[in-house]
Amino acid sequence: MDFSWKSSGEPEANADLRGVIGYLHPTQYRTVSRVLWNTRQIEAQLAESKGLVGYSLRAKLFPRRFWAVAVWENDESLQSFVEGNPHAGIRSALKGAMEESWFKTFDVKTEEVPIDIDEAITRVE
């Protein structure tokens, strides 16, 4: 199930932006509900985050796989979000409940936004 792109801000034309793609694979099905609940909290943080251009999500519940892609105005905005709560606390709390997880950054130009999850995955492979 893919969730459509949510725009948060309008970046400057021809700007160099920072993209990030994240992947979570919980070890157990009971962790899926925690991931879904925490996603709502993180979305609330995103709504208040300065420098966010937009984001989208993908959830495949039965294979327990989740992806998120976001585009930020710069590395500082991205880092502020990553280090802020609730994201930092949730990331720490879920760390041991993941079979695999990773986050990778990539460069994005304004005219490439919105970017879908498949394109973001391709960029970091």
In tens, the pLDDT along 88-115 reads 999 999 999 999 999 999 999 999 999 9
Q: How many CA atoms lie within 13 A of 27 on its CB side?
A: 6
Model confidence at 64: pLDDT above 90:
yes
Model confidence at 9: pLDDT above 90:
no
24 exposed, middle or buried (CB, 10 Å; 0-12, 13-18, 19+)? buried
Using alpha carbons only, what angle is made at residue 83 by residues 65 and 10, rounded to the nearest 5 degrees?
Answer: 80
Structural domains in the chain plus CATH codes: 2-124 (3.30.70.100)
List the beta bridge partners of residue 52: 72
Give the pLDDT score at 4. Answer: 93
pTM: 0.94
Order of strands, sheet of 2-7, starting from the edge strand that comes earlier in the sequence: 2-7, 52-60, 65-72, 16-26, 98-109
